[in-house]
């Protein structure tokens, strides 16, 4: 049984969705996003996954970014927020996600 | 910031060379921000570096999309573009001039034939004695003579058929050109990607 391979595939397929949901909840910066995801092993990911992914989402205009000066000794942070296009994308993804859950439920015979 | 961390960022910057300067600076600043964040939380420099992993690998993760995308379809694209333009070049050499001549010529002939037929019929009916009327007629290798009214009806039917053929040729030409420009557009769009 190779559950790890399957888990990593799930992660690959859903990380984008999770990050967008997270940013929609509240504008956030890279380290914070990584820390929050870290709480959930199934979608926890390292810097070398999250940052390039954020950059891609930025390029595709699902999110926007702005640097904010640090206060009280804190470093400047690059905050990401959701765009209208991102909202739309989340909407479409959510619908598909529901489809998937329904399909699994039905196939399982529940 | 500690020297090891600065060195880490320098190395990363070196590996990020293929990315435009402004973006590169932004990437480095973001990683730097995380380093400082961790330092504020009291994480030692060594642990930070351990967490971020090899600077080369981190830089490569940013380049990943870029590299695989380009090298993957560059050769394929080259072949596609070659095939497309040779096909268009060859087919265009015949298709465009042929259709381009056939379409207007057929339409003019299609209109011309019944008009001449009508002139001959009018000449016959009203006995106008218009000169050269004997040169107008139905030819199947040699001149076949019918009653000019019958000739007019035949010329009308043939004219309509030729007109239709001309229209079809014209539509084909438009379709052909549209298809080509659409495909060319798609190819250049892929190139920009």
Residue A1, helix vs strand vs coil: coil
Long-range contacts of A80-89 (CB under 8 A, 24+ apart): A80/A23, A80/A27, A80/A28, A80/A29, A80/A30, A80/A33, A80/A54, A81/A23, A81/A27, A82/A20, A82/A23, A82/A24, A85/A60, A85/A61, A86/A20, A86/A23, A86/A24, A86/A57, A86/A61, A86/A62, A87/A24, A89/A20, A89/A62
Binning pLDDT at 50, 70 and 90, where does residue B83 land? confident
CB-closest option in A31, A51, A67 to B37: A31
Mutation target to probe the A interface, by most A beta carbons within 10 A, among B28, B34, B40 is: B34
The sign of the CA dihedral B18, B23, B27, B33 is positive
Q: What are the pLDDT digits (tens) for B29-58? A: 999 999 999 999 999 999 999 999 999 999
Q: What is the pLDDT of residue B72?
A: 56
Contacts with A75 from chain B: Cβ below 8 Å: 32-33, 36-37, 40
Whether residue B69 has pLDDT greater than 60: no
A55 and B34 within 8 Å at the Cβ level: the answer is no
- Name which of B187, B179, B124 is nearest B152 in CA terms: B124
Binning pLDDT at 50, 70 and 90, where does residue B193 land? very low
Task: State the ipTM, two decimals.
Answer: 0.89
Q: What are the pLDDT digits (tens) for A21-77? A: 999 999 999 999 999 999 999 999 999 999 999 999 999 999 999 999 888 778 999
Q: What are the pLDDT digits (tens) for A69-102? A: 888 778 999 999 999 999 999 999 999 999 999 9
């Amino acid at each position: 049984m190779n559950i790890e391979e399957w888990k990593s595939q799930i992660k690959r397929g859903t990380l984008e969705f999770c990050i967008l949901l997270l940013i929609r909840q509240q504008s956030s910066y890279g380290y914070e996003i990584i820390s929050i995801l870290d709480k959930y092993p199934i979608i926890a990911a390292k810097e070398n996954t999250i940052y390039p992914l954020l950059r891609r989402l930025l390029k595709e205009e699902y999110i926007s970014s702005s640097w904010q000066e640090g206060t009280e000794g804190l470093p400047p942070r690059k905050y990401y927020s959701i765009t209208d296009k991102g909202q739309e994308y989340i909407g479409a993804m959510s619908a598909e996600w529901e489809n998937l859950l329904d399909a699994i439920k039905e196939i399982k015979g529940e | 910031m500690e020297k090891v961390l600065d060195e880490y960022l320098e190395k990363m910057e070196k590996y990020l060379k293929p990315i435009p300067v402004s973006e590169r600076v932004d990437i480095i600043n973001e990683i730097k921000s995380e380093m400082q964040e961790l330092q504020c939380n009291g994480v030692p420099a060594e642990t930070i570096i351990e967490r971020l992993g090899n600077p080369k690998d981190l830089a490569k993760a940013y380049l990943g999309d870029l590299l695989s995308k380009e090298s993957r379809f560059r050769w394929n694209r080259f072949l596609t573009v070659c095939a497309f333009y040779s096909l268009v070049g060859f087919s265009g050499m015949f298709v465009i001039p042929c259709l381009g001549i056939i379409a207007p010529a057929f339409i003019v002939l299609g209109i011309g034939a019944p008009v001449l037929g009508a002139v001959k019929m009018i000449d016959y009916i009203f006995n106008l004695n218009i000169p050269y009327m004997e040169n107008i007629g139905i030819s199947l290798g040699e001149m076949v003579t019918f009653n000019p009214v019958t000739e007019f009806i035949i010329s009308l039917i043939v004219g309509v058929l030729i007109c239709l053929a001309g229209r079809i040729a014209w539509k084909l030409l438009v379709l052909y050109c549209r298809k080509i420009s659409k495909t060319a557009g798609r190819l250049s769009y892929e190139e920009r990607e």
